[in-house]
Every structure is written in C-alpha cells, then in structure tokens.
Chains A and B, each alone.
Chain A
Amino acid sequence: MSGPSTYVPKSGFGRWMDSRLPLMRFAHDTIITYPTPKNLNFWYAFGAILTFMLGIQILTGIVLAMHYVANAGLAFDSVEGIMRNINYGWLIRYMHANGATFFFIAVYIHMFRGLYYGSYKSPREVIWILGVILYLLMVATAFFGYVLPWGQMSFWGATVITNFFSALDQIVPHLGSAIATWLWGGFAVGDATLNRFFSLHYLLPFVIAGVVGLHIWALHVPGNNNPLGIDTKGPQDMLPFHPYYTVKDSFYVALFALIYLAFVFYAPDFFGNPDNYTPANPVVTPPDIVPEWYLLPFYAMLRSVPQKLIGVLVMAGSLLTLVFVPWLDTSKVRSTRFRPMMKQFFWLFVFDCLILGYCGSQGADAALHMQGFELPLVWVARVATLYYFGFFWVVMPLLGIIEKPKPLPANISQPVLAAE
C-alpha cells in the first residue's frame, strides 16, 4: 500500500546516514508521503488526538513522579504538596487527572468510529485487536493511577477491584484469596500495594507507547479504512499524509485540547469524586464506592449479576468479546452507512452503553419512579447487559445474513465529487 519509498536524501550526511540507519527515510515514508484516502472525516482525527493525549499524560506524569511519594503514610500529603507548594503543581496535576478523562473520551469515540465504519474487518483485524489491547492497558494504567493519591476512593476502589480475584475461591478454595494476597503484597491493600501500583503505573504508559507503534505499523500496511468502507482504487483516491492530514488533525487536536483545557482551568474536579479529597482510611468505608466514569458500564454489568464469580466473568467477557468482533461480523459491507439495519442496532448499542454507565453511577438499590410504578435499576442494567452481549454475539453474525445492504459506490472519488 505504502509503495516504494520516494525519499531522496538532500545532503551528504543524509546519504551517508541513509545507507546505514534510514531513520529519515522511515519518518518520511510514515508521516510525509503515506498515502491516505482523501475522504477521511472528523471522526478519523481521534487517532491523532489519542497520540496527543498519551504524550500529555506521559509528560505531566513524569513531572508528577518527581514530587510524588509512593508511601501509604505520605502519598496523600505529597499530592497536596504538589497542589499547594510546587510551582504550577496544581496545573500539572489537574492536567494529568483530567487528561485521563479526556484520553478515555477520545478512545471511546475512536472505538465507536471503528465499529461504525467496520474498520476491524479484513484485512485490518490485527489493527483492531491491538486496539483492544491498548484499551485494556489504558484501563489498567488508569486504575493504578487512581489509587496513587491514596484518598478514600483510591483505597476502597483498589480494595473492591482486587477482591474480584477472591471470587475464584468458589472454584478452587483459597485460590482467589491467595492471588489477592499475592497482588496486595500483604493481607490487605496497603503500603506494598501502593508501591507496586506506582511502579506499574509508571511502566505501562511506555508499554502503551510501544503497542501504539505496532497499531500504527499494522495500520500502514493495508492503509486506512474510510467512511465508505470500500477499498481505494489508486492514486486518484489518495492524498499524501502531509500536509493534508497533518493540518486537518492539528486543527481537531487543538479543538479537543481547547475543551480539555477548559475543564482543567474552570472545572478541574468535575469528573472527580469528592471522597478522594479525604485521606484513605481502612476503617471507614464510604457510603457508595464508585469507579471513575469511564468504567461505570462495566461496573453496572458486574453488579447486575447476583452471583459474584459470574458477575466477574460477565465483566471480563464483555471486554474479551471485543477481540472476536472481526469474525462475529459476517457482513461483506464494511461501512454502516450502507447497512440500514446495522445503523439502528449500532445507535441502540451506543445508547445501551450510556444506559449501563448511568446504572453504574447510581446506588446499588436505586430505582426509576414513573407514576407510582417502580423499576429497579438493576433490572435495567440486566436488560442492557443482555443487549451488550446480544449486539456482538447475535446481531452482528445474523445481520450479515439477513440484511440487504444499499448499493456501494464504485470508488471513493465518485461520492466526493458528487457531494460538491
């Protein structure tokens, strides 16, 4: 797809280097001449936005780690020290905390975009699977990071999540508890846990950066999918990545950063939980233990199952399901634009995820009240969980067989011209 390299070294040193380590040739082929379909829309900017957010998180994180103390007795104080006594420490920390939120906003849009345009289908299965791995790494990193300030929600969140493993006791007695003890480095979440979580929180972003490299490498072999989901037919369908997509992506990155920074400066605690401004206290349990917003749908699925082990398996299954998406979707047509039935099921799925998120954010025994009729939210979550799995395991395989897609355009230039 990328074709033969067109890089021509301009200096003697460039030629000398090019025959030894062709780093400039690689960069030139990857970000300058890389042929990109000319019809990529706004939703394709989130790859660049995610790269930008990863950079922000790593940079602010490295500075925070210079001042943070991973010790159960000092962690909370060191974070407050950053907020009060370190020059611009408040800015670095608010950028990091809100950065996690906006990183997840971007990744969810990126994932829904991939689902909508069928970007996971042959020959792009590996790109999708690497993406699922990246998402799981992000979840793990965010979870470890949320523990570090050692507030009440940090401590109790860590306790609840690590206790998932003790559900394994129901299969092999003591196995789960032994794993939990091993993870904690003690008999409860404590100083040893905090230290190893800090170590992993520092390590994983660099693993993410590495897998991002693979994700982009795998992308550049078949090239980008596009909103029409049809294969590009030749140079007339393509534009060089630079300047066309560098400038388009830069504009959308700036727009995204504008919204992100508005929260950093004007509502920095909007996505936070007030309980995390109270230092961790192992003898006082907060009335409601809730995860960060980006994990709420999975939390709702977990709670919708009365039996703990099955609940944990359902939650794990909801993530694992994503790996199989390239083979669950049996349709020959990539883009949902040409799939009238899929379009409806897709938006229902987006709505379903929002419903699950809402259920996860409410108390365990919350209910909807409508004219004297009471609907426990746990039942809403159960139906929503069923649809979540149904969408992937029933709707996706079935629609490919029963749906009659709309006719596809002959090439991507045709509708681009027609639109003008």
Chain B
Amino acid sequence: MKALTLAFAALIATSVAASAAEDLSEPLPPKDVHWSFEGPFGTYDRAALQRGFQVYKEVCSACHSLNRVAFHDLVGGKEGGDGFFTEPQAKAIAAGYKVPADPDDKGNTTDDKGNPLMRPAILADHFPAPFANENAARANNGGALPPDLSLIVKAREGGPQYVYSIVTGDGSPVPHGFKVIDGKYYDPYFPGRNISMPPPLRNDSVTYSDGTKATLDQEAHDVVTFLTWASEPKLEERHRLGFGVMLFMLLLSGLLFLSYRKVWHDAH
C-alpha cells in the first residue's frame, strides 16, 4: 500500500513538473468557450450579433477588411434574410460608409482637388476595406498583413474558440524566459506566440447601447459571434432545414425497414 501511495505521489510530481515546463514555442490549446450557435439547434443570439457588429465597426475595421459581406447581408428578421438589423437600419449603416463612385456626367473620376469621386454606400455595396491594397495595409501595420475577416472563423483550426482565444490572449503577461520579438506582442494562443496585432480589446473598448457591460470577455464573445455569422451566414437555415430532413430520413428508413421485413418474411 505504501509503495502504491509512493508511486502515485511520484506520478503526480512528474505530471506537475511536466506542466510547469510548458513548451513556450508551441501555442496553448484554445479556450473552451460556449456559444449560442453550437449544437444541432443552435442559433445566433441577435443582440450579441448587433453588439459584435459594433465591436467590429468601432475596433477591428480600423485594420481588418470584411470583403465578402454586403450591407444587405445585415438585413434580417421579418423581411427575411440572415441578418440582424431592419432594412432602414442597414441602409443607415451603409450610408455611413463612402465607396468609390462611377465617373460623373462629364467623365471625371476625381473632384476639383484631384481626390477620387466618392459616394455613400447602398445596401448592394460590400464593406469597404480600410486600406487601398496589400502594400498599404502592410506599410501601416509594421509589415504584417491584417487578414480579411469574412471567413476567419472557418479558415482557422479551432474556429470560434481559436479566434476568441487570440483576441483575449493578446497582451497576456509574458512568462519568464520568453523573449518577445521587437514590435510584436505576446499571445500564447498564436503559433509561435509572437503576434503582430496589438491587443485589440480591453474593458470598455466600446460603449454598448443596450446597457450590456463592455468587459473584455463580453466584447470578445460578441465579436466572435458576429464573425462566425460573417463566415457562415446560412447556419440557422442549415440547422432548421436539417431538422426536417433528419425527421424525414428517419421516417423513410423506418418505413423501408418494415417493407424489407415484410418482403423478406417468406423468402427462406
């Protein structure tokens, strides 16, 4: 018995030693976060989508584009569509952005001062990118390219958990013995743990109009919900239709099984 206890203690000691000697060159596994859109009946939390959109608009969009999302995608609810704003709300949001305009009646593409002609965006337009091209984006971000966010949740191993961990882990205290590369930030969830993105969110980065307290976790949770929606806007429709299809297939399989039993009853 004593030997067993001793062996057990030794086992615990080695496992503790193993966890203490964390491999700092490998990223940590993503945090275990739960979402409203998980599971076969999951749906997007409309309020979280609206708050998450606010976080994207006021924080992320300074550097990250959202090329594949159009303003009409934001429309949802009674009018149909997969979005989370009414049509007038979405129109008002679009009008707040400027996009390149067509040449005017005289064929001019610039105004008197030589600036390109711009017009307010309409529902058919996509979100304009913060930088004119890749070189401009790199020049403004210390050589790093902020990725487009339209598919970010589907384009990363770990999906929403990973994006949430990156956003909340950025700027974590640097462990003893780890050297952060000049001009980079410490993020234990990022491959190599050196990330070019400055810590994007902190408490009260935004002020929510619905009175929700804007903690770092709340903001991250909301913006990842929004980005998951941007990556997979048809998720709710998929879950809804899937339920009906599963019921139908179960019924069909059941009926076919009974037919099979009946047809084969006297076969031998």
Contacts and interface: CB of A to CB of B under 8 A. Distances in A.
Nearest to B268: A416
A274 B73 contact: no
A38 B68 CA distance: 56
B178 interface: no
Contact of A244 (B68, B147, B151, B263): B263
B268 A277 contact: no
Interface string B167-207: 00000000000000000000000010000000000000000
B256 A254 contact: yes
Interface stretch (B54-62, B88-96, B153-161): B153-161
Interface string B238-258: 110110011001101100110
A321 interface: no
B108 interface: no
Contact of A420 (B40, B252, B253, B268): B268
A274 B241 contact: no
Contact of B253 (A248, A254, A264, A278): A254
A354 to B, nearest CB: 22
B145 to A, nearest CB: 10
A44 B267 CA distance: 17
A251 B155 contact: no
A269 B154 contact: yes
Interface in B113-143: none
Contact of B260 (A248, A262, A268): A248
A114 B267 CA distance: 25
B259 interface: yes
Contacts of A254: 249, 252-253, 256
Contacts of A94: 238
B267 A251 contact: no
B234 interface: yes
Contacts of B233: 84
A83 to B, nearest CB: 7
Given A80-B151, A90-B234, A265-B241, A251 B253 contact: yes
Given A247-B263, A278-B151, A38 B268 contact: yes
B154 to A, nearest CB: 4
A257 B234 contact: no
A274 B257 contact: no
A266 B268 contact: no
A274 B154 contact: yes
Nearest to A287: B191
Given A84-B234, A261-B246, A266-B242, A275 B155 contact: yes
A258 interface: yes
Nearest to A84: B233
Contacts of B259: 247, 250-251
B50 to A, nearest CB: 20
A209 interface: no
B257 A91 contact: no
A288 to B, nearest CB: 10
Candidate in A80, A94, A278 with the most chain B CB atoms within 10 angstroms: A278
A94 B154 CA distance: 14
A239 interface: yes
Per DSSP, chain A at the interface is: helix
A383 interface: no
A200 interface: no
Contacts of B257: 251
A250 B249 contact: no
B263 A258 contact: no
A262 B249 CA distance: 10
A122 to B, nearest CB: 29
Contact of A80 (B68, B147, B245, B263): B68
A363 interface: no
Given A251-B256, A274-B155, A277-B154, A244 B264 contact: yes
A251 B263 CA distance: 12
A200 to B, nearest CB: 27
B256 A417 contact: no
Interface string A220-256: 0000000000000000000100011001101100110
Contacts of B154: 269, 274, 277
Contacts of A277: 151, 154-155, 231
A91 B238 contact: yes
Contacts of B147: 278
Contact of B68 (A84, A257, A275): A84
Given A80-B68, A90-B234, A262-B246, A255 B253 contact: yes
A247 B267 contact: no
A269 B238 CA distance: 13
Nearest to B69: A84
Nearest to A259: B249
A264 B156 CA distance: 20
B253 A265 contact: no
A250 B256 contact: yes
A255 to B, nearest CB: 5
Contacts of B249: 254, 257-258, 261
5 contacts: A38-B268, A244-B264, A269-B154, A278-B151, A417-B268
What 7 pairs between A and B have smallest CB-CB spacing?
Answer: A265-B242, A277-B155, A251-B256, A258-B249, A254-B253, A90-B234, A277-B154
Interface of B: 40, 68, 73, 147, 150-151, 154-157, 159, 191, 231, 233-234, 237-239, 241-242, 245-246, 249-250, 252-253, 256-257, 259-260, 263-264, 267-268
Given A94-B238, A247-B260, A277-B154, 13 more contacts: A84-B73, A250-B259, A258-B246, A258-B249, A265-B239, A265-B242, A266-B242, A274-B154, A274-B159, A275-B155, A277-B151, A277-B231, A278-B155
